[in-house]
Structure 1
Amino acid sequence: MPFSDIVRAVEDQFHRDSIPVLRRRGWRPRVIPYAGYGSAAPAAASARPDSGVGTPSGHSADGAPRDMARVLARMVMRPPNAPSEGPLFQRLPEELPATPQDARRQAAESLLEAQRGWRMFIDVPVPHLPVTVRLGGMSVRTRADREGYVDVVLRGHGLPPGWHEATLEAAGAAAVTTRVLVVAPGPRLGIVCDIDDTVMVSHVPRMFVAAWNQLVKYTSSREPVPGMAQLLTRVQQEHPGAPVIYLSTGAWNVVPTYRSFFERNGFPEGPMLMTDWGPTNTGLFRSGIEHKRTGLRRLMIDLPEVKWLLVGDDGQHDPLIYGEAAREHSDRVAAVAIRRLTPTEQVLAGTQLTHPAGLAPEARALAESGVPVAVGADGFELARSLRPEVLAAQLQQ
């Protein structure tokens, strides 16, 4: 038996043994929602399927509705007094506490945020828990996987473009809502953006990023890459309705940290597609490269009319992954933007120093793809290469 199978079996048994013990201590299942995305049907077919109204243009060749939504969540055990999973302390206080009561309240919120990091580090998932997901006029009954994750697609929701709320109801847990970004039909630009070392710098070795993100919860301890928020915001303003999807090899546990960081530093709101570390059917650890490759392919399938701007850094494998995607699907990639790390950041990222041209040698696929490539030390330099006319011309092809 492969060693990864043994580790996976031990992990599953530990979770099964832990849940009864936690229940006796008053812990209960809780739904941790994550933002999702979806597509809208053409306007001529916006009526819901059960109304008897609509045109065949709202369905694919096999008769299935063309509008879809991907809803994401996780089932975990939580004590009855556990704080909300949402950001508790997204901004520093605008003024000093005026009363002792205000001071105690601010101190309590800060303490909750600090302790939430180590608590999430030892999550106990609830595997195979029955869950009902409702969005628009549709509902789906499913079960969480062995790690407690729910990743379900609803079709025929009939919702217009924009942000909407989906409801998740799990056995033994309170119902929660999560947000889903429905992308408008028709050709348009979209943005796929990495997180660590692309928009956020932690100044710690890459191998310790997971512990840093989970244990050091204060968002003020993270430094945004200069100009990156402005770049993403500018592109989104120039292309109204452009979805921003953050695709990262970080763990799902740190989504609250990232969410607070994005809001604090003015980054556009968007779904985050993370990964879960640990043993799989094929190995002891999940492959970050394969996670990004699979995530990009999934986005191209789910949102077939979107042409993507791919934003990453040269500290790990983004040039290779994006280059492969651009070479194999040049009609679906508008441009690639690579942030060039400093020598110090390269060392912390665990890679060799950058190529003199600013890209690692493995990024030769980028040159073969034929799509525009921008390279810069920060968002301001990238913005000078990603001029509006460049992206506009790509969308016309």
Structure 2
Amino acid sequence: MHPSGKRKYDAAKESRSRRWWARIGINTGTVVKVYHGYGHTGELQVFGHVLVRSPVPEVRFRYRLPGNIWSMLRRFLVQPKPLAPVQLQWQGQTIHTKTTDDGFFHFQWKPQYPSPAGWHPVTVTHIQNDNTMAEGNGVIYIPHHTQFGCISDIDDTFLISHSERLLKKLVVMLTNNPRNRKPFEGAVHHYQLLSHGHTPPAIPNPFFYVSSSEWNLYDYIREFADEWQLPQGVYLLSQLKRFSQLLKTGGGKHHTKFTRIARILESYPHMPFVLLGDDTQQDPYIYEAIARHFPQRIISVYLRHLSDEKKPAVLAVVRKLEALGIACCYFRHSEEAIAHSRRLGLIARLPASS
């Protein structure tokens, strides 16, 4: 075949492929996805992915079974772009980095001058051969000097997920959209109370959501959080997974969860924290390790009790944490956790009955 004929053939083939992917809701253009970053006056961090195949954003949610299943499966039909050069502008600086083998980027830099507390917009651009290939928008969160911060797990801490039962977990995840998933009763109220504990409504206590769920579920989890009015916060998830790894969803390496929590505490050395998790996976042991690495930085640990089999081992961890001077609440119902937070003075006490 003549070279020009081959180019036309390849172009036509690529065009057919793009149309086929588009029909099933998959974007084959380059996308820069920027997640919520965080920082303080001396250092900032932003995370994201560069993808050359990704799901088209949902404009409406499906409430029928086939639509929900396909909506979830699309989130794993991703193709990252490795070693992609990316940059962002901040206070006149241009900060450069490249994506890792799985398309992930992480900016970490020292700003030239402090930024006020609050949410700040940021744009990340993928530039190749002096051409802008794609750009994505995100925000950076700089907390106010509030009394304390909160670090929470997601699955089976406030979002009912059945993490210990793989088949049931997959069924729940595949057959529901983020607007009809359910939180545990009272969990959202507890989080809202912690968010506004002894601080004006305009400057809530900061929340960080750290999970072994993969970045594929970022939009799904944020949509759930917005639907149920959980406190706004920063989400730090686990490594992106491909379609072939779907059965391993939520099975991220738990030692990376320790690292992500440690980075938060290192970013705010003068801020004490409340940790919230459950007993279905490794939260009790990760939180104990955090407490030992950061003495006197943890006010309280909340662990939702879902596994009777694990109860003796978790109670042993609770006793170790209490020996370190950390208040613990190992609870079945969120009302117990709320009462515990009131006793500690983390949230306002109920007015005395007349």
> TM class by shorter-chain length?
0.7 to 0.9
Q: Secondary structure at the match of 1:387?
A: helix
Report the Cα distance in structure 1 between the residues aligned to 2:222 and 2:288, rounded to whole angstroms: 28
Does the Cα contact within 8 Å between 2:47 and 2:104 map onto a contact in 1?
yes
1: CA distance between counterparts of 2:91 and 2:176?
A: 35
Tell me which amino acid in the other structure corresponds to 1:367: E
1:123/1:353 Cα in 2 relative to 1: closer, same or farther (>3 Å)?
A: same
Q: How does 1:162-181 map to 2 (within 5 A)?
A: 162-171=118-127, 173-181=133-141
Q: Matches of 2:193 and 2:90 in 1, distance apart?
A: 31
Partner of 1:160: 116
2:70 partner SS: helix
Q: 1:122 to 1:78 in 2, by over 3 A?
A: closer
- Please say if 1:70 is aligned against 2:35: no
Map of 1:227 onto structure 2: 186
1:381 maps to which residue? 336
1:204, distance to aligned residue in structure 2 (A): 6.2
For residues 224-267 of structure 1, the C-alpha deviation after alignment (integer angstroms, 9 at most, x for no partner) is 01111111111111243421000111111001111111111121
CA distance in 2, matches of 1:376, 1:329: 24
Sort the Cα spacing of 1:292 and 1:204 in 2 relative to 1 into closer, same or farther, 3 A.
closer
Cα separation, partners in 2 of 1:308 and 1:150, compared to 1, 3 Å: same
Q: What code does the residue aligned with 2:322 have?
A: A
1:37: which partner in 2? 38
Contact map agreement 1:160 1:182 (CA 8 A) in 2: yes
Superposed CA deviations along residues 76-103 of structure 1, whole A, max 9, x for unmatched, are 1137xx523xx6447xxxxxxxxxxxxx
Task: Give the alignment partner of residue 319 of structure 1, picking from 261, 270, 284.
Answer: 284
Unmatched 5+ residue regions in structure 1?
Answer: 1-20, 41-65, 91-105, 393-397
In the other structure, the counterpart of 1:192 is 151
C-alpha distance in structure 2 between counterparts of 1:128 and 1:113, whole Å: 33
Alignment partners' CA distance in 1, 2:321 and 2:254: 16
Q: Give the 3 Å change call, closer, same or farther, for CA 307–22 of structure 1 in structure 2.
A: farther
What's the counterpart of residue 354 of structure 1? 311
Partner of 2:266: 301
Task: Provide TM-score, normalisation by structure 1.
Answer: 0.69
Let me know the Cα RMSD of the aligned residues: 3.2
Q: Equivalent residue for 2:5? A: none
Within 2, Cα distance between the matches of 1:310 and 1:339? 11
Q: How many residues align?
A: 311
Cα distance between partner residues in 2 of 1:210 and 1:129: 34
User: Partner residue of 2:25?
Assistant: none
Instruction: Verify the 8 A CA contact 2:72 2:174 in the aligned structure 1.
Output: yes
Matches within 5 A, 1:50-65: none
Q: Note the C-alpha offset of 1:329.
A: 1.9
CA distance in 2, matches of 1:164, 1:225: 32
How many Å separate the matches in 2 of 1:364 and 1:208? 33
1:318–1:229 distance in 2 versus 1, CA, 3 Å: same
Task: Spell out the pairing of 1:89-104 with structure 2 (5 A cutoff).
Answer: 89=60
Opposite residue 120 of structure 1, the aligned amino acid is R
The offset of 1:327, in angstroms, is 3.2
Contact 1:166 1:179 in 2 (8 A): yes
Alpha-carbon distance change, 374 to 214 in structure 1, aligned in 2, over 3 angstroms: closer
Distance 1:239 1:29, change over 3 A: farther
**What is the match of residue 183 of structure 1?**
143
Q: Please say if residues 150 and 276 of structure 2, whose CA atoms lie closer than 8 Å, have aligned partners that are also in contact.
A: yes
Report the CA distance shift for 1:382/1:136 in structure 2 as closer, same or farther (over 3 A): farther
Q: What is the rounded CA distance, in whole Å, between the counterparts of 1:170 and 1:197 in structure 2?
A: 36
What's the CA shift for 1:153? 1.1
Q: TM-score, normalised by structure 2?
A: 0.77
1:236 matched residue in structure 2: 195
Amino acid at match of 1:180: I
Q: CA deviation at 1:154?
A: 2.7
